[in-house]
C-alpha cells in the first residue's frame, strides 16, 4: 500500500481514502489461518465499506441493534467536534476525524493507562498524522474483531467481555507488532532521512553563500588594488626626470614594494613615494644597480623589523596584557621558524 504523507492541516480529505485501506490491511492480516478467528473475505469487505452518513443520521449504535446488523457495510467516517467518539463494536467501526489526538500536534500517540507502557502496543513515537491514523484505526479494528469474531471462537482462549481486557490486547498486539509498528518505523526513518537531506542542503547553501561572499570580497580587494595602482600612477604626473626632464613614465614592475617607474624618454628610473615611512621617494638618474637596490630595501626593511620586535616586547607589560608561557613560546617559535626559512633562502 502506498503511504500517504499527511499533515494536521490537510489530513481530513486524504484520511477518508486512507482509513478504508488501513481497515482492509488489518482485517486481511487477522484473516490468516494462524489466528483462527473465522474471518472471511466477505467480512473483510464489509468492514472496509463506508456507510452512507445520510442513512445513519439519528441512529446511534448499540449492542444488538438490528438496523446496523443488517447493513452491508459497517465503516463510519465522521467529522464531529474533538469530543466526538471513536469506537467499534460487532457491527460498526466509527472513526472521528475530529478526534483530539489527530490535532494536538504531539509526536507521541498515547494509549489507555492499562497498557500504555507496553513496548509493543502502548504509547509510541509518531512522525505525522498518518501514523496516528494507523494506531487509531487498528485499535478500533481490534475492538470490532474482539466482539464480532473472537468472543464466539472456542479456540480463542482470552476473555473478550472486557473492553480493553486480555482478549482485546491480544488482538491489538498482533496488529501493532506485525502491521502498524513496521509502517510507523519506516515513516520515521524516511522523516529522519528527509531531515538529514534538508540539513545537508542547508549546509551546501551556506557554503555556496560563503563562496559568493568570498568572491565578492576578492572582487572588492581587486578593485581596491586597481584604484591604488591608478592612484600611484597619478603621483608620477608633474614629476620631471632629473636626467632628461621628461614627464612621461611607465610602470616597470608589479612589485608593490618597489613601485618603480621608467622614464619613457631616456629610460631613467624613479621610485614613487611609498606608503611605508621607511621607504620614501628615491629619484635616480639612470638605472639603479642591484647592489644599490638591495642596500636601500634591506636597510628600510631591517629597520622596520627591529621596530616591530621592539613593539612586540611591549606586550610583556602585565599591567596591560595577560598571557601564558605557552603563548610566548608559540609566538617566539614562529619568529625563529620564519628566520630559519629566511636563512635558507640566503645561504642555500
Is the distance from CB of 61 to CB of 94 less than 8 angstroms? yes
At residue 42, the pLDDT reads: 95
Three-class secondary structure of residue 278 per DSSP: coil
C-alpha cell at 58: 439519528
Q: Report mean pLDDT in 10-residue bins for the chain, 348 residues.
A: 48 84 96 94 94 64 70 86 75 87 79 91 91 94 95 89 91 96 93 90 89 88 75 54 68 55 68 46 58 87 90 88 91 92 88
At residue 19, the pLDDT reads: 93
At residue 279, the pLDDT reads: 41
- What's the whole-model pTM score? 0.57
DSSP 105: -
Q: Where are the domains of the chain?
A: 11-203, 237-320
Can you tell me the distance from the alpha carbon of 112 to that of 213, in angstroms, rounded to the nearest whole number?
56
Largest CA distance in the chain: 124
Amino acid at each position: 500500500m502506498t503511504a500517504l504523507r499527511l499533515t494536521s492541516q490537510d489530513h481530513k480529505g486524504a484520511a477518508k481514502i486512507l482509513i478504508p485501506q488501513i481497515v482492509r490491511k488489518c482485517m486481511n492480516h487477522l484473516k490468516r489461518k494462524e489466528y483462527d478467528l473465522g474471518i472471511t473475505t466477505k467480512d473483510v469487505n464489509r468492514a472496509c465499506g463506508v456507510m452512507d452518513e445520510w442513512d445513519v443520521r439519528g441512529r446511534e449504535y448499540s449492542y444488538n441493534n438490528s438496523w446496523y446488523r443488517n447493513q452491508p457495510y459497517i465503516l463510519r467516517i465522521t467529522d464531529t467536534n474533538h469530543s466526538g467518539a471513536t469506537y467499534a463494536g460487532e457491527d460498526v467501526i466509527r472513526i472521528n476525524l475530529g478526534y483530539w489526538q489527530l490535532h494536538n500536534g504531539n509526536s507521541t500517540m498515547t494509549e489507555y493507562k492499562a497498557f500504555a507502557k507496553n513496548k509493543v502496543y502502548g504509547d509510541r513515537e509518531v512522525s505525522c498524522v498518518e501514523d496516528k491514523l494507523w494506531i487509531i484505526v487498528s485499535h478500533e479494528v481490534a475492538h470490532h474483531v474482539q466482539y464480532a469474531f473472537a468472543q464466539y471462537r472456542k479456540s480463542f482462549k482470552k476473555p473478550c467481555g472486557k473492553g480493553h481486557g486480555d482478549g482485546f490486547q491480544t488482538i491489538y498486539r498482533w496488529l501493532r507488532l506485525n502491521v502498524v509498528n513496521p509502517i510507523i518505523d519506516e515513516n520515521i526513518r524516511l522523516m529522519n532521512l528527509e531531515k538529514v537531506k534538508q540539513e545537508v542542503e542547508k549546509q551546501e547553501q551556506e557554503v555556496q553563500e560563503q563562496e559568493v561572499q568570498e568572491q565578492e570580497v576578492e572582487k572588492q580587494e581587486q578593485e581596491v588594488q586597481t584604484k591604488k595602482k591608478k592612484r600611484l600612477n597619478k603621483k608620477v604626473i608633474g614629476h620631471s626626470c632629473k636626467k632628461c626632464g621628461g614627464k612621461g613614465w611607465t610602470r616597470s614592475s608589479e612589485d608593490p614594494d618597489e613601485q618603480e617607474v621608467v622614464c619613457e624618454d631616456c629610460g631613467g628610473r624613479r621610485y614613487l613615494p611609498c606608503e611605508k615611512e621607511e621607504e620614501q621617494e628615491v629619484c635616480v638618474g639612470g638605472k639603479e644597480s642591484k647592489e644599490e637596490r638591495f642596500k636601500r630595501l634591506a636597510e628600510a626593511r631591517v629597520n622596520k623589523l627591529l621596530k616591530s620586535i621592539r613593539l612586540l616586547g611591549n606586550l610583556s607589560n602585565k599591567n596591560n596584557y595577560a598571557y601564558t608561557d605557552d603563548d610566548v613560546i608559540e609566538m617566539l617559535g614562529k619568529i625563529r621558524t620564519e628566520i630559519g626559512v629566511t636563512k635558507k633562502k640566503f645561504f642555500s
